[in-house]
Structure 1
Amino acid sequence: MKENCVLKAGIGYTIGNYLIKGLTFLTIPIFARIMSASDYGTYNIFVAYEGIFVYLIGIGFETSLKKAYFKYGSLDSNSGLPLHYEGYASTVVSIIFVNALIWISLALLFRNQATKLLQLDIPSIVMLMLFSMGNAVVLCYNADVSITYNYKGYVKLGAINAIGSIALSILLMTLVFKEKTYLGRMLGSTSVITLLAFFILFFFLRIHKPEHIKEYISWGVRFCLPVVQHGIGQVILVNFDRIMIGRMIGSEASGIYSFAYNIFSIIYVTYRSLDPVWGTWFFERMNEGNYGAIKKYSSIYMLVILLLSSFIMLMSPELVILLGSSKYSDAIYCVIPIIAGGFFTFLYSLPCQVEYYREKTKHLALATVCAALVNIILNYIFIQKIGYVAVAYTTLATYILYFLFHFFLAYKIEGKHLFSRKAIIACSLIILCVSALALCTLRFVLVRYGIIVVMLVGGSLYVWKAHREMIMKLINRHQTK
């Protein structure tokens, strides 16, 4: 029953996220045509800053909820402890709102320094703080519902956010902010998610009011502070390249590079959809000491993301043409290395669960900050020599090193490899080979799609051979129903 619940939730998260993110993905051509490349770049720089402030305001509390659930227990479990999960969740969500007010006050107090540092006006900075707060609260809600595999709550909230922000942004850009379309996009996104954040706050307060604030915040901050450094480092790895391109070359180049990243969002949505379910399942198997299941199913997980990443790389030239206009055609040369780097980002998410489970989050921060510094240095050197396309390759190299660090760190923490080394090596080599083939065959459509067919057949045969018994059980169970 438990495995069926996990499988159902995994499918629900993925399908729901594709429907939600699919709306965003399908609107890329609309926004790309309404907005100039410069405005498109400005909005994506705003989003890049949000990735930093979501950690400064949210303190990474969403990463602690799963551990708090296993640490404190639920009110329903009758543990008899004065501290419990519901009180912790209500407390940290309330603290995020208080923290947002502090940051907004500081921005207004030091407005000259803030506008100079961020290169945004005060209304945009206030929207940035509210947008970051809203995302931090939504992340907490998503972490909460994932603990019980409640994918329906996750999908409902995500759908409201996606549909509302897209519709309001388009209205504002076409009717109010025709000259500065990036402002309409900012206001549309910020308004909806801020309202949702207040709804979520009332949701948590209705279940339980904040209590034991000193104890909860003390533990939460100790657990999450390294995560904040880690999260900011991750944002620098993912988003700071756009900021650097914008400052060193221009917002138009940043817009083209950001468009390339939107193609990668197909893969990103998939593994981010599965990550809440995978993380909870991983914690449960670790509690049971069922390491065989972790090694087995993590290998299947790797294969699925490998095949999807390979297919998107091989289809990327057509996707760029389909989703964008001719002004984004140069994005083709960035998409393939970005997706390859994204695959190693996914790989990193496997061993990092060990660090969360063992509460070794300080290692997360150290690795991420070092990787971010390496990435910034490489970007600074190669943007000047080659241009913004070089950033996609420096990011790929950084992510490979990043994954290797966490893989060996997880081994050091556990004293054994929880994940199949053969599967990791094979998948890593395949993704690099496919990326090279995709670059060499950009002009040869039939060759690229022929490779897709070969990989699809090969992957299907591997899954059938390695997991025939499990597949037959699922088929027989379905037939008996």
Structure 2
Amino acid sequence: MAKHIKKHFWNKRPSEGMKSAVAYTFASLFSKGLAFVTVPIFTRIMSTSEMGTVNLYNSWQSILTVVATLSLTYGGYMVALKEYEHERDRYESSVLTLTTFTSIVFFAVYSVAPNFWSRILGLDKSLLLLMLVGFLLLPATEFWLARQRYEYKYKAATLVTIGSAIVASALSTVAVLYMRGSGKAAEGRLFANYAVLYAVALVLWVYIMVRGRKFISMRYWKFSLALSVPLIANQFATQILNNSGRVMIGWFVDNSAVGIYGTLSSVSTISAIVWSAINSSFVPFLYRNINDSEGKKRVRSLASILLLIYAAVCVLMTFLAPEVVKIIATDEYMAAIYIMPPISAAIFQNAISNMYANVLLYHKKSSYIMIASICGAVLNIVLNAVLIPLFGYQAAAYSMLTAFVFLSYVQMRVSKKLHFTITGTKETVYDDKAIIGIQWLVIVLSAIAIPLYHFTIIRYIAAFVLMIVSFFLYKKSKISV
């Protein structure tokens, strides 16, 4: 696959495009890696309750940003940059005005009953005001970065992304150390972190407005809203799937439980970075071969092998969970280590969903992805509402796993049926039986890891075997394509 991807990009994209892709990938990985590296620091100088406040804030911000920005910062923006190639400055300032209006509406709704919203969201009013400022300013950063990426202007964007991540992390650590023991360390960390991000966003907000000087345009607004509004439900449902567990733990248990659950689940999601790299390389290959009979055979073979490789990564993370938690957290978190296997298995189910969503996107049937995501989100909320009060915060991990298994099956069935209808064939894109087998293999192996946490040597042997298997599967994936 690597040979084909390399050939595809070098033949069809300018060298600046390749440099841009590498730079943005590096900046993204650096930012995520830095966030992970600082986890061991914060878990040792902040209480689990304070960690819970940070996790709760970030979860609510992820969920509400989708609505507060009308999803204007997502995929539709890129389409608009192409549509208005010679009007980009004016378009950019216009849609930034639109997100500014929506943030003001959110502030007005909050101002009517601040105590009510503070109670519902489980956050201090000062933190809600911090979040509202983000709804106003952060879209400017998103718009600017998206345009820089689109135009292959990667140097400034990479510098801003990496620089702000370093400064924000350093300032957050200093703030927590200074406020340690005051009961306000979480607020100090969040305000310090976002002070840096908001300062950058404010500069970009002014820059975009001054450069564009077009504040209201119904033409731009109608075009953007037509693209973004259908994405709101899908993005909102996706955020619910990813964050509802933390939010509902805050409702039914307490912020300390949110801190433990959120920290360990963030460790489990490290493997998602691996899948992001795999999927971004696989999609071009899939789209080039999906309509070719011989190509489909290669797609079926490669898809199964890639999922096996990723399955090995997820299961390996599960088997090594005790060692990982000892590095990144304190003894308070070790008691909850048993939630990592179901969360890791759930993340793998999401990879299967992505595989089938790629086919739906190819056939321009994204509305089906939205419907499936909404159904999965509703199921997740219902399960959390029933199980967390009965079994505690650990139940959120199993609710998440169930919801993602459901989502993967819905995506699989809908994708296959639509592909048959559109192409007029009965030839599947993937080897569905093999994928289902891999799916349940991951669930079973993840379950087996739980009792093995008491048998270190056996776990190490199993982890070593998984590494060897992953290596041979990787070599096979390169040869088979």
Same fold (TM over 0.5): yes
Q: Which residue of 2 aligns with 1:238?
A: 242
Answering whether residue 165 of structure 2 is matched by residue 162 of structure 1, we say yes
Give the 5 Å matches for 1:252-331.
Answer: 252-272=256-276, 281=284, 285=288, 292=296, 298-299=303-304, 301-331=306-336
Equivalent pair of 2:341/2:450 in contact (CA under 8 Å): yes
Q: How many residues align?
A: 461
Equivalent pair of 2:168/2:193 in contact (CA under 8 Å): yes
Mapped partners of 1:126, 1:148: distance in 2: 34
Answering whether residue 230 of structure 2 is matched by residue 226 of structure 1, we say yes
Mapped partners of 2:251, 2:240: distance in 1: 15
Following superposition, the deviation at residue 147 of structure 1 comes to 4.6
Following superposition, the deviation at residue 335 of structure 1 comes to 1.0
What runs of 5+ residues in structure 1 fail to find an aligned partner? Answer: 76-83, 471-481
Task: Rate the CA distance shift 1:313–1:117 in 2: closer, same or farther, 3 A.
Answer: same
Q: Which residue of 2 aligns with 1:108?
A: 111
Mapped partners of 2:146, 2:310: distance in 1: 22
Following superposition, the deviation at residue 325 of structure 1 comes to 0.7
> SS at 1:125's partner residue?
helix
1:38 to 45, 49, 58: 49
Mapped partners of 1:73, 1:3: distance in 2: 25
Greater displacement, 253-262 / 6-15 = 6-15
1:18 to 29, 37, 41: 29
Q: CA RMSD in A?
A: 3.5
> SS at 1:443's partner residue?
coil
- What is the TM-score when the length of structure 1 is the normalising length? 0.83
Equivalent pair of 1:74/1:85 in contact (CA under 8 Å): yes
Give the 5 Å matches for 1:54-93.
Answer: 54-65=65-76, 68=79, 72=83, 74-75=85-86, 88-93=91-96
Following superposition, the deviation at residue 426 of structure 1 comes to 4.2
Greater displacement, 329-338 / 8-17 = 8-17
Give the 5 Å matches for 1:413-424.
Answer: 413-415=418-420, 417-421=428-432, 424=435
Answering whether residue 207 of structure 2 is matched by residue 197 of structure 1, we say no
1:392 to 385, 392, 397: 397
> SS at 2:107's partner residue?
helix
Q: Which residue of 1 aligns with 2:344?
A: 339
* Deviation per residue, 1:347-399 (Å, 9 max, x gap): 32333344455554433333222222211221122222222112111110110
Following superposition, the deviation at residue 209 of structure 1 comes to 5.7
Following superposition, the deviation at residue 11 of structure 1 comes to 6.0
Answering whether residue 251 of structure 2 is matched by residue 247 of structure 1, we say yes
Q: Which residue of 2 aligns with 1:477?
A: none
Mapped partners of 1:359, 1:142: distance in 2: 26
- What is the TM-score when the length of structure 2 is the normalising length? 0.83
Answering whether residue 450 of structure 2 is matched by residue 444 of structure 1, we say no
Mapped partners of 2:128, 2:477: distance in 1: 53
* Deviation per residue, 1:307-343 (Å, 9 max, x gap): 3212211111111111111111122111111111011
Following superposition, the deviation at residue 88 of structure 1 comes to 4.7
Give the 5 Å matches for 1:373-388.
Answer: 373-388=378-393
Task: Rate the CA distance shift 1:33–1:463 in 2: closer, same or farther, 3 A.
Answer: closer
Equivalent pair of 2:84/2:91 in contact (CA under 8 Å): no
- Using the aligned pairs only, state the percent identity: 22
